[in-house]
Each structure stands twice: as structure tokens, then as C-alpha cells.
Structure 1
Amino acid sequence: MSTRTRILSGYRRLLRASRLSFEGDTFAIKQSRATLRNQFVENKAISDPNALEDVLKGIEEAESMLLHHIVQGKRVDKSDEPSRFKVKLTDPQKKNMSQNEELTPITSKSSAESIIIHSGNACTRPE
């Protein structure tokens, strides 16, 4: 498979992974798609084979990050309890967790923080 084909395939995989990771969160999906598109447009002119291999490695790392390291949490409002969140895991995350593994609790402070996109850009939800 040619390098160009592998990169385009990777782009499609990243779009699918972002859709799966941010399912139900239209804002996050739009932001991740825009960031992915911008990154691919910026790297469009790269022709050096070594640099292209680095791009392919970055695609694989970003896909892994999206599929395995991003967890959606939704606040469950109960006035008599401290903030509690319902966490939604993707299938790849469920497969990689051991039976007794626990997630780090999400706090009110961490839920209010920005969403971090792979490129390092922060995207915050509009008020």
C-alpha cells in the first residue's frame, strides 16, 4: 500500500475513532474533526519519506489515544449527594480493562476543565 493511501486510510480511521469516542457530544465531534482536518491540510506538502513515516506514527498514536484514553462522563444530578458522574466506555476500553480495575473518580473540578484535543489545542464548550 502506498504511503498516500496509508495516510488517507489513517485520516478516515481517526474520523471514525473521534466519532466513537465523542458519541453524543456534537460539539466535541465537530471540534475534533476540524482539528484533524487542519492537521492534515498543514501536513499536505510533506514529501520526505522519513517525515511521512513520522506522520503515520502520529496517526496511530492519535487513534490509540482516541479509542483507549478518552472517557465521557456525564454528571448525575442528585442534590443530597456530592457530584457523581456516569462514565461511558467505548468497546476497546471495555476489552482492555481487567475485571477488578477501577477508574479514577471524576470530580467537579476535573469535569469543568477544558477538553483537550490530540494536537494540544484546548476546546471549551460554549456557555
Structure 2
Amino acid sequence: MSMLSQEARLLYRRLLRTQRLRFEGDLPVMLAAHRQTRTEFEANRSLTDEKKIKKCLKHGTQVEEVIRRYVVQGNKVEDKDNTYSIAFTSEHALRDAHPILIKSTLQNKDKDE
């Protein structure tokens, strides 16, 4: 097995694991993410050009990082209109120079009325 083939296999597993963690409890989204990942990997399975393979691996690594560091789930809080709880983990990019701003358009709309 070549190094690139092994790297692709490891990346595929890492993507599925990250999707499973981030989309836990949201089966339709998790399955859609898994399907998309499989489709992308299958479409590039026959690549032989090392540069193209490395480019695909880099893209997959970036996708995994975005999902792991920037995707959060919002769960509706029962008995509270327009209120969602968001659970951040230590892997989320809260310490980055790019702050995550969450602003509810519904709350702003209520203030305008």
C-alpha cells in the first residue's frame, strides 16, 4: 500500500469520525455528510497523478478541520421561544483571532417591533 493510499484511508476515517462527533444526535445531517464524503472519495479513487492526489488530501484535511473547529450544534431549549443552547468543546476555535459572533435575527426583529 502506498503512503498516499494509506493517508487517504486515514483521512477518510478521520472525516467520518469528526462528522459523527459534530453531528451527534442529528442523524439526517450526519448521514448526508457521510454520503458526501464517500461520493468525493469514490470520485477520486482512480486518480494516479501524485499532485492531484495531494491536492485532494489537502482539501479533505481542511474540510475536516473546518467541521472539527467551526461547526457547532444548536439545540432548541424547551419552553423558550427562539432560544438555543450551543455546546462548544476544547477543539472549537474560540481562542483564534477570528471571534465567532452569534446574533439572532429573530431577537433583533422583536426589538424593532
TM-score tier (shorter): 0.7 to 0.9
Choose between structure 1 and 2: higher helix proportion: 2
Q: Within 5 Å, which residues of 2 pair with 1:79-90?
A: 83-90=82-89
TM-score, structure 1 normalization: 0.71
1:17 and 2:14 aligned: no
CA–CA separation in structure 1 for the residues paired with 2:89 and 2:30: 15
1:42 equivalent in structure 2: 43
The gaps in structure 2 that reach 5 residues or longer are: 107-113
Runs of 4+ in 1 over 4 A off after TM superposition: none
Say if 1:67 and 1:90, in contact at 8 Å, map to a contact too: no
Q: State the secondary structure of the residue aligned to 1:92.
A: coil
Which stretches in structure 1 are left out of the alignment for 5+ residues? 110-127
**TM-score when normalising by structure 2:** 0.79
How many residue pairs end up in the alignment? 103
Distance 1:32 1:60, change over 3 A: same
Counterpart-to-counterpart distance in 1, 2:76 and 2:103: 9
**CA–CA separation in structure 2 for the residues paired with 1:76 and 1:33:** 27
Higher gyration radius (CA)? 2
List per-residue Cα deviations over 1:21-72 (Å, max 9, x = no partner).
Answer: 1011111111100010001011111110000110110111011011011110
Please tell me the root mean square deviation across aligned C-alpha atoms, in Å: 2.2
- Aligned residue runs from structure 1 range 40-79, under 5 A: 40-78=41-79
**2:74 counterpart SS class:** strand
Aligned equivalent of 1:105: 102
Instruction: Name the SS for the 1:74 alignment partner.
Output: strand
